[in-house]
Structure 1
């Protein structure tokens, strides 16, 4: 056989690297979530123990630092491998400032606001930063409708319809935009 059937020596290497990086990111995300959940459980146990007079846990501030280190490492791996984080499940659950996994009611607070537009404000209690998320249901529905219509669109029929419209505009006697008409204010 000739050399034509061979691929380059890096064939498949990029996909393997991305899969490996994605696996590492998933693992780091799960660890940081578990650490934050355990911290919440330990805090509630500490409150009960402090009422009884026992105060044994000295390294209570180490767990959030380790969890934030894992999430920071996860974000770095994603940037290096050009892997996007899921906006709904991961990006909204992280604090952009201190990289802590945000658990509503425990280390962050949620509220709705109408100051500019209807949105949700997520406030991190550890670093006092906040994030805003829009709740544009009409826009989201419009995007979903647009994606659905483009996936089922027949491009040949669109091009035929556009060419017929162009042809009718060229053959018509009046100009499509009459400059003497007043423009409507929006």
Structure 2
């Protein structure tokens, strides 16, 4: 069973260890020191930022991280997408990773994305869509989005998380289902 809860400061050592894993570091390109994790995830963990940083569990065991936010709360993200696709302020963005390398390639990412998409319609009742930009080179990530039911709706250049990557990105979208579905 997939579940999640808000990330807490007590989770930072685990998060740091995941950020240091080669399969995560490749795409997130994030410092994994205790100070960097506290700096970059602390405000959300304390409820001082409007994003959801969520620790993901599989059958009660922590396995990854989900970040969820409204584009209206981070206008710089919407502005970067503007040349590629118009994004409503109420649309939601997702970012994610599976931390345990033993769980990669088994469909868990797709299950997590499917679960958070379904929950987002309830948690963000004004969200018309979920819009996720992903590096075109990150095949595993965009394939998980596709398998979870998101559609590729645009392509364009954006600043990559990892400066080693080129600027090519795909943009995926899930549109809120009609009421009653």
TM-score, L = length of structure 2: 0.24
Q: Which has the higher helix share?
A: 1
Larger radius of gyration: 1
Q: Which has the higher strand share?
A: 2
